[in-house]
């Protein structure tokens, strides 16, 4: 299973950015997708996740109201829409999927087995 995260870049505070996560190597639709981030000098942390149906999402408190996780199973792609970004959102963003089909996602990093390489998001003040 390969995950490719893309869409990162430099954005001003208050702006928006959409990250994409494209999967290959297995059927995409039966698996939840999670987004995590790691800022310099900090541990990787949960951002948000979407169930395999796309109907349910969960977010970290820092992302609620500003970020939206979605997916397009026809395109084997999940998205992280980031609005009203802040300098503290600066991090490498990763997407990840579990091994189990139809699994209700959690916020726990250990529950995700396959990881993309990450994409850098830098928010300037």
What are the strands of the beta sheet with 2-6, ordered from one edge? 2-6, 17-24, 77-82, 67-72
For the chain, the straight-line distance linking the first and the last C-alpha, in angstroms and rounded, comes to 37
Residue 103 pLDDT grade (very low, low, confident, very high; cuts 50, 70, 90): confident
**CA distances (Å), origin 93, targets 5, 27, 44:** 8, 23, 9
Would residue 47 be called left, alpha or beta, if left means φ above 0 and alpha means ψ between -120 and 50 degrees?
alpha
Query: What does the mean pLDDT of the chain come to?
Result: 96
| Mean pLDDT in residue range 104-116 | 93
- Note the pLDDT tens digit of each residue in 6-55: 999 999 999 999 999 999 988 889 999 999 999 999 999 999 999 999 99
């Amino acid at each position: 299973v390969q995950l490719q995260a893309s869409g990162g870049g430099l954005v001003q505070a208050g702006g928006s950015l959409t990250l994409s996560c494209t999967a290959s190597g297995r059927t995409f639709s039966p698996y939840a997708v999670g987004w995590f981030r790691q800022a310099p000098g900090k541990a990787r942390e949960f951002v948000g996740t979407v169930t395999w149906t796309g109907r349910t999402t969960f977010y970290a408190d820092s992302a609620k109201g500003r970020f939206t996780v979605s997916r397009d199973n026809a395109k084997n792609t999940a998205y992280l829409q980031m609005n009203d970004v802040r300098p503290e959102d600066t991090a490498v963003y990763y997407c990840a999927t579990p091994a189990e089909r139809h699994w209700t996602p959690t916020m726990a990093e250990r529950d995700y087995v396959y990881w993309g390489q990450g994409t850098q998001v830098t928010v300037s003040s």
